[in-house]
Amino acid sequence: MCADTSGKAAKATLRGELLEARRRLTTDDAQEAAAVLARRALELEELAGAHTVAAYVSIGREPGTRVLLDTLHARGVRVLLPVLLPDNDLDWAAYTGPEHLLRAGRGLLEPDGPRLGPDAVLGADAVLLPGLAVDDRGLRLGRGGGSYDRVLARLVHARVEPPLVVLLYDNEVVARVPEEPHDHPVHAVVTPSGVRRFTA
């Protein structure tokens, strides 16, 4: 078995374990964690000075982003949210409030405003990435669809280096995430217990 194949299989196993742990969370646990995560994230210097933040709308038992999105928007920060394209790449649209979010494919919520194009993320001062885990090296485990791998590749290709931040539950900071050649480390992870930063 080649390294790429074994890495994919190991990622799939770890994803299954982490998603099962999320399914066991109560609604109260998830809401409490979301409030703490928003407070900790808003204290980040990377967000404090940002004019534009690329983020996402949490769904299900994902670490909650709703309070964070509303607070950033209320502060006058331009918040870009992803719009899933048919090929799994991401377009972007501005967040203008929860009443302007529409149900989309895969249970996602997307803004109802004008599409800004996949390159809109290049103007972000910080990027909040969804994930299932981050390891001691800052490597992130996503859900496996590849959408954010494309976003990260776009940033690298354009030589744009905004801070990359992931919001997770405490148990999702792990010793090691299986690695594949296209993986990029993030700069920080925010959990209910605190913030951990990574350096290249």
Q: What is the number of domains present in the chain?
A: 1
**Average of per-residue pLDDT across 182-191:** 90
pLDDT confidence of residue 6: 67
The model's pLDDT over 105-154, given as tens digits with 9 standing for 90+, comes to 888 899 999 999 999 999 999 999 999 999 999 999 988 788 999 999 99
For the chain, the residue count is 200
Band (182; pLDDT cuts 50, 70, 90)? confident
pLDDT confidence of residue 33: 93
- Which residues are part of a known binding site? 11-15, 57, 62, 140-148
- Which residues are part of a known binding site for substrate? 57, 62
- Which residues are part of a known binding site for ATP? 11-15, 140-148
Residue 164: phi and psi, rounded to 5, are -105, 125
The Cα–Cα gap between 79 and 95 comes to 5
- Structural domain boundaries enclosing 149: 3-197
The model's pLDDT over 24-60, given as tens digits with 9 standing for 90+, comes to 999 999 999 999 999 999 999 989 889 999 999 999 8
Q: CA torsion 14→18→21→23, rounded to 10°? A: -120
H or E, element range at 11: helix 3-23
Question: CATH number for the domain including 122?
Answer: 3.40.50.10420
Higher pLDDT, 178 or 194: 194
pLDDT confidence of residue 2: 46
pLDDT confidence of residue 183: 79
Task: Give the 3-state secondary structure of residue 147.
Answer: helix
Task: Give the 3-state secondary structure of residue 84.
Answer: strand
